[in-house]
Amino acid sequence: MGVIHENTSSVLAHQAGEIAEKLPGGATLARSVEMLVAWGRANSLWPLLYGTSCCAIEMMCTGASRHDWARFGVEVARASARQADLIILAGTIVEKMGDNLLTLYEQMPGPKYIIAMGSCTITGGPFYYDSYSVIKGADRLVPVDVFIPGCPPRPEALFYGIMQLQEKIKKEGREIPWEIGELVNTPFIDTFTETQQDWDALEKKKDEELAEAKKQFKRDNPDYKPPKPARVKKAKLPSPTRKRVANQGISNWTLLQTLQKKFPGLTVHDHPDATPKEVAELGTDVPLDLVVPKEQYREVVQYLKDSKELGLEMLIQLTCVDWKEYFDVVVHLLSVEDGHKLFLRCRVEKDEDGAEIETISDLYPAADWHEREVYDMFGVRFTNHPDLRRMYLKENFPGHPLCKDFKDSSRVIVRPY
């Protein structure tokens, strides 16, 4: 982080104070002016417009008419970092936005302050475990002056945090100058396991202290039996009747028959020997899920789009499933005109370089982004894709986070339960 100095007015105020102290009664005058400047600074905070998640709704509510943070001197929310002296970090901070947040902080003139609002901002919140992207504490990235816990904290809590910051600012001057705080560099720890171990130790100590008392109680009351709570009889509720969805478009059985005539290798996922009756009983609200061989993947997709009989002209989703030994590339198609849907899944074997399959981005333009997402998160390469690069993570991110063998101790704390 670069060195950021106080603004020019603060420097001049310090110099004027040093000159005034040399005059008779100047020390009292200098302290009075310092108190006045600090009071004015504390009651004229200009927060930066910065909200990333659900805590931002509470921050907006604090500034709106019901609560009106202008009454507390937080008057104008600015859209420019050069016109702000406070950032209220309201919501989750992910790694990719970290550089931008640091840039905004460095562009703000000093003295400047940060309030961390909500559990996600302070520690990562529910994303503390098993998360590869969420920063586990804003104070690992920028110096934080006030922490406001909660998920989310109410506007009253934010008001209290603002007042605590104002008290801190009022104490600043030449004796207690404003300076950039230190960042937290301690390694991540498994807080759940540590807390559980501490709790188990306390319980063991308590049992040891009460062991003799328990033995004495049993000797004095040999026939004592602890009361058993009465069981509440489970109520039997009638099963709701399932409303049958109206048939839309081509039936599953007709879809399967039509495709198997042209591509005999297609089978129903998890039901390779499904009978016509079993497939027909799925109903139209359960889309047909077909397994397509890799060598026929592109040919089948092209046929489904170009076929006037089937007319699956819309790509809803292209995603991936990691089965450890191999990937399943899953394509979800829809006929806009008739309403029938279809799933296609293609097994892609893993090798030393990951996995590879043909692109369908030239058939369905929407697949361009979907395939980039699969490449970013799973590492599956799509040959002949026009622009295969990462879209969510940084180019130097090590590995692909949705793969089941992904490990990165510097980012991820594995959930112990």
Domain ranges of the chain: 8-170, 252-383
DSSP H helical segments within 21-94, as ranges?
Answer: 26-42, 55-63
Query: What is d(CA 111, CA 13) in angstroms, rounded to the nearest whole number?
Result: 13
Average pLDDT over residues 72-83: 88
Element at 133 (helix H, strand E): none
Q: Spelled out in words, what is the top-level CATH class assigned to the domain 8-170?
A: alpha beta
Helices (H), 252-408: 252-262, 276-280, 297-306, 367-378
Residue pair 286/270 in contact (Cβ under 8 Å)? The answer is no
Comparison of pLDDT for 205 and 30, the residue scoring more? 205
Is the pLDDT confidence value at 204 over 60?
Answer: yes
pLDDT above 70 for 21: no
Same fold, 8-170 and 252-383: no
Neighbours of 220 (CB within 10 A): 8
Q: What's the pLDDT at 248?
A: 75
Largest pairwise CA distance in the chain: 104
pTM check: above 0.85: no
- Residue 22, Cα to own-chain centre: how many angstroms? 56
Q: Which CATH superfamily is domain 252-383 in?
A: NADH:ubiquinone oxidoreductase Nqo5 subunit (3.30.460.80)
Contact residues for 218 (Cβ-Cβ < 8 A; gap 6+): 224
DSSP readout, 39-50?
HHHHT-B-EE--
Q: How far apart are CA 130 and CA 369, in angstroms?
A: 25
Write down the pLDDT at residue 285.
Answer: 67
> Quick check: 414 pLDDT over 70?
yes
Lowest mean pLDDT among 282-291, 320-329, 347-356: 282-291
Mean pLDDT across the chain, nearest whole number? 88
Q: Is the pLDDT of residue 371 over 90?
A: yes
Predicted confidence at residue 243, as pLDDT, reads 72
pLDDT higher than threshold 70 for residue 16: no
- How does residue 286 score in pLDDT terms, banded at 50, 70 and 90? confident
In the predicted structure, residue 201 carries a pLDDT above the cut 90: yes
3-state class of 62 per DSSP?
A: helix
Give the residue, 254 or 25, on which the prediction is more confident. Answer: 254
Contact at 8 Å (CB) between 90 and 49? no
Distance CA 331, CA 120 (A): 34
Least confident of 136-140, 171-175, 266-270, 330-334: 171-175
Q: Which of 14-23, 104-113, 135-144 has the lowest mean pLDDT?
A: 14-23
